[in-house]
Amino acid sequence: MQTARRKRKKLKSEINVVPYIDVMLVLLIIFMVTAPLLNLGVDIELPESAVAKSLNVDKDPVVVTVDQAGKLYLTIPKAPREEVTPDRLSTMIRAYMNTNPKSPVYVAGDGKTEYGKVYDAMALLQAAGVPKVGLMGQPPQDKAN
């Protein structure tokens, strides 16, 4: 008597990608919802001046921003803007200026910030070894437009 031969199922060598697509869509939605909520910048109103002019610089500048509340923000080229304490600002600027001594450094103070807070930021930069500090401003907007 001949034994019945069993048919063996072929093994599938495919990957089911539907669950991966579902996960990617969920992640996409999460990133789309959270991206606008990230604070990518500091809203400040730069003081207007008739003598404010555009400077042509070879290197990207380092910008220290002082907002209306007196908080300090540091923007180093090719790095995200971050809120810093005065001690951390000194440390980071000193380290950056050791490797990039010719890099321009600017202070951007909100128009409603107390002058003393901007002056303190400039003093911190000078103590950290920055030879020249520029102040940022913007030209006055034409009221006729």
Query: Digits of tens for pLDDT over the chain (145 positions)?
Result: 555 566 777 777 788 888 899 999 999 999 998 887 776 555 666 666 665 556 656 678 889 999 888 899 998 888 888 899 999 999 999 998 888 888 888 898 888 888 888 888 988 988 888 888 888 876 666 654 4
The reply to whether 79 falls in a domain is yes
Residue range of the domain that includes 110:
40-145
Number of domains in the chain: 1
3-state secondary structure the chain: CCCCCCCCCCCCCCCCCHHHHHHHHHHHHHHHHHHHHCCCCCCCCCCECCCCCCCCCCCCCEEEEECCCCCEEEECCCCCCEEECHHHHHHHHHHHHHHCCCCCEEEEECCCCCHHHHHHHHHHHHHCCCCCEEECCECCCCCCC
The reply to whether 117 falls in a domain is yes
The reply to whether 73 falls in a domain is yes
Write the CATH number for 136. Answer: 3.30.420.270
